[in-house]
Amino acid sequence: MTIEEFYDLDELEQHEELWDLSVQIGERLEGDFKIILYQIHSFYIELYYHIEYNCLRKLYAFDDTDELHYYL
């Protein structure tokens, strides 16, 4: 699956794909957000959880390994 195919899935299908096939490989804090990094297929996904409201606010997928520098 490519990033484009992942984004073409509806939200529920994206979450099912993420929970069933991904591996959590990192996390970090940024402002009011806890950002959790997953690897799935040949790309990465960041989930942005709002700490105070305890809810998912954003999902961001990328395949450029330069963006992993936040976790190194």
Q: Which residues, given as ranges, of the chain have pLDDT below 50?
A: none
CA distances from 31 to 22, 26, 49 (A): 25, 17, 11
- Nearest CA to 39 out of 14, 5, 62 is that of 62
C-beta neighbour count of 37 within 10 angstroms: 21
Q: What is the pLDDT of residues 39-57, one digit of tens each?
A: 999 999 999 999 999 999 9
pLDDT of residue 72: 87
pLDDT at 66: 94
**pTM to 2 decimal places:** 0.90
- Which pLDDT value is given to residue 40? 96
pLDDT confidence of residue 49: 97
Q: Hey, which residues does 69 pair with through a beta bridge?
A: none
Give the class (CATH, top level) of 3-71. Answer: alpha beta
Instruction: In whole angstroms, give the CA distance from residue 21 to residue 5.
Output: 15
